[in-house]
Amino acid sequence: MRLDGPLTLGHLPPLRAHLRSGEPPRLTILDLTSVAYIDSSGMSEIINHEVYCRDKHVRLILAGVSPRVLGILKITRLDEVLTIAATVEDAEAMA
């Protein structure tokens, strides 16, 4: 799933609705290539989806994470909890 724009409080309701609209595929890739910024609400939504995926025995991989977003994930140590791939192709190869 390709995400566009910032992952901030004002942009999350449609994403949340889509992520919970049905059973996730066994491999879920969130393509963050076009996400330049993430705030605490966005990080919370990704962590909530990670927990949801784990409960369903689904693997969640973040792909194409920009240096700025990766820096935020590192500061919060979420890079140690989440699976991150450089590209969507790399994420698919991890399956």
- Beta-carbon-side half-sphere exposure of residue 52 (alpha carbons within 13 Å): 15
Q: Give the model's pLDDT for residue 20.
A: 84
8 and 39 Cβ atoms separated by less than 8 Å: yes
Confidence of residue 59 (pLDDT cuts 50, 70, 90): very high
The reply to whether CATH 3.30.750.24 applies to domain 27-93 is yes
CA proximity to 56, closest of 90, 19, 93: 19
Q: Is the pLDDT of residue 95 over 80?
A: no
For residue range 3-48, list pLDDT tens digits in order.
988 999 988 888 888 888 888 889 999 999 999 999 999 999 999 9
* 63/31 Cα distance (integer angstroms): 5
**The token pair that represents 14 in the structure block:** 């449609």
Question: Which phi-psi region, left, alpha or beta, contains residue 2 (left: φ > 0; alpha: ψ -120 to 50)?
Answer: beta
- Predicted TM-score of the model (pTM): 0.91
